[in-house]
Amino acid sequence: MTVASFAGQAGLPTADSTKSFWHKDPSKLLFGHRTTSPLPSKADLVIVGSGISGACAARFLHQNDAGKDLDVVMLEAREACWGATGRNGGHCQPFLYGKSNDIAAFELRNYQTVKALVEERQIPCDWRSFAGCHGFMNESMFSIAVQEINALRESDPELAKLVKVITKESTNPSLEDLRIPTAAGAIVQANAASLWPYKLVSWILEDLLSSNSEGGKFNLQTNTPVTHLQKADGSWIVHTSRGMIATERVLLATNAYTSHLLPKFSDLIVPVRGEMSALLPPASMSPASITHQPLQNSYVFVGHGKQNINQDDYLVQRPFVPSSTAKERGGELMFGGGRSYAAKSGVGVSDDSSIDEPAAAYLRQELNVVLDLQNKDHELEATYEWSGIMGYSRDGHPWVGEVNDELDLGGGAGLWLCGGFTGHGMPNTCLCAKAAVELMMGMKEEEVDLPQSYRVNRERVERARSLDEVHIADEKGIAL
């Protein structure tokens, strides 16, 4: 039974979490949903977690010839999509430079896959495609980024075409056009989007539940935390607050909370608490304004942290809607980051029942510093401030695959993992979930679309443990 306690082990998701902007209009079908009143005593496959990883995995199982007839039970500790996906910054943006080309290309395919799903099924999740702007406030950090893009032009010219370097001398766009006149420079990527992530996941889960009327076998059980796992005669017993489920296969889509069920993962996937805010835009900003238009890009701000220059912050703006009141007209500036202002930068914290007030204050004040908002007021008003728990991977890559006995991580045959997205889940989770499903259903490893560095194996575990621990790497500013 995986019940031993390890240093740094994540707790269960807290019952009383901070209220996320994305949760202000929860799904009537999903809120409090239990497909069956009693907890099933057995299932062919159990998915733990109902964020975008778990939801996409369930969807791909439903579409898979070997998986479509399986009895699938999804267990969620709180309400559906109440963890990181329902608490993130509302971005979906692949990073096309500063990492290996196979990962950059994978993230781009993931972005295109999610975008195509939203467009083909007309999912009402406020998806808006535009360019992503990475504003560098530090000269040396911008210089490193330019070097990385020069290397990308040599190694993958097609990928490099999607990335543009903006210097102080650039025009069309200039740094002023990008609303970051004080930046050392910027990198603009062609593929980025903002969305309402909770609504995307809600649509996927609602669609799966509706398939039950046509022979589907998807059972969602919310408010059912999994307390531990037990190996038993070649299968698994999943222990919950409401009883036990016997199953041959378990998929952990638990991200930051993975080590609660696999304590030996405590040093490999570490919970990190992040801070988010929904800020009211300046009164003068509106679609009708000639001089003060809404933002046309998503943003990442790099190299400006007063506490730790290596921190980055991120921003998208919500669409405006017709309204007579400032708080209901939309256009919220969804600004996140400021972790260096939190105790221990939030590393090791798996409790999202409170915010870090110093980080929240930083977010209310900092946007006027890095972005030209033409705003005379120093501090913006927040309508929502909340925290969320990210799962930081020791080597910076997601963990996707079977946690078998050979790994000595408390797993065994039939226990699978898809987690550790290091705050960069939206450009990775969909295709990682697809890969996890294909591997579970017996597809050959070489036929599965998944970067080698994402795969779970013994060599990777040993290599990851030779690296700095997450809290040390985070303090150094190593790109995770």
Same domain (yes/no): 159, 291: yes
Number of domain units in the chain: 2
Same domain for 293 and 349, yes or no, is: yes
Q: Which residues of 209-224 are buried (b: 16+ CB within 10 A; e: fewer)?
A: beeeeeebbbbbbbbb
Instruction: Please tell me what DSSP assigns to residue 274.
Output: E
What average pLDDT values come out for the chain (480 residues) when binned by 10 residues? 66 97 98 98 98 99 96 99 98 96 98 99 98 96 97 97 98 96 96 98 98 90 98 94 98 98 98 98 85 92 79 94 81 96 95 97 93 83 98 98 97 98 98 99 98 98 97 72
Per-residue pLDDT at 477: 72
Task: Check: CB of residue 426 under 8 Å from CB of residue 86.
Answer: no
User: 208 φ, ψ to 5°?
Assistant: -65, -40
CA dihedral 394, 87, 135, 298 (to 10 degrees): 130
* CATH code of residue 57: 3.50.50.60
User: In 290-300, which positions are buried (b, 16+ CB within 10 angstroms) versus exposed (e)?
Assistant: eebebbebbbb
In a domain, 119, yes or no: no
Question: In this structure, are residues 124 and 195 in contact, taking their beta carbons and an 8 Å threshold?
Answer: no
Q: Same domain for 355 and 445?
A: no
Q: 18 and 385 in contact (C-beta within 8 Å)?
A: yes
Q: Are residues 310 and 387 in the same domain?
A: yes
Tell me: do 189 and 296 sit in the same domain. yes
- Is 314 within the bounds of a domain? yes
Confidence at residue 274, expressed as pLDDT on a 0 to 100 scale: 97
Task: Please indicate, yes or no, if residue 94 is contained in any of the structural domains.
Answer: no
With respect to residue 104, please indicate whether it lies within any of the assigned structural domains: no
Which CA distances in Å does 322 have to 296, 316, 331?
19, 19, 10
> Is residue 301 within 8 Å of 315, Cβ to Cβ?
yes
Side chain identity, residue 21: F
Residue 290 has a pLDDT of 77
Could you tell me if residue 329 is inside a domain?
yes
Q: Are residues 293 and 343 in the same domain?
A: yes
Task: Classify residue 414: in a domain, yes or no.
Answer: yes
Q: Which residue is associated with the tokens 């105790």?
A: 343
Is residue 241 located within the same domain as residue 291?
A: no
> Does residue 254 sit in the same domain as residue 349?
no
Residues 203 and 181 in one domain: no
- Domain end among 368, 391, 414: 391
Q: How far apart are the first and last CA of the chain?
A: 31
Domain endpoint, select from 363, 391, 419:
391
The pLDDT assigned to 233 comes to: 86
**Closest to 316 (Cα-Cα) out of 195, 423, 232:** 195
**Residues 376 and 406 placed together within one structural domain of the fold:** no
Same domain, 221 and 369: no
With 0.85 as the threshold, say if the pTM is over it.
Answer: yes
Contact 190, 298 (CB under 8 A): no
173 cis-preceded (ω within 30 degrees of 0):
yes
Domain that holds residue 398: 21-86+198-270+394-476
Report yes or no: 287 and 321 within 8 Å, Cβ to Cβ: no
In this structure, the answer to whether residues 352 and 452 fall within a common structural domain is no
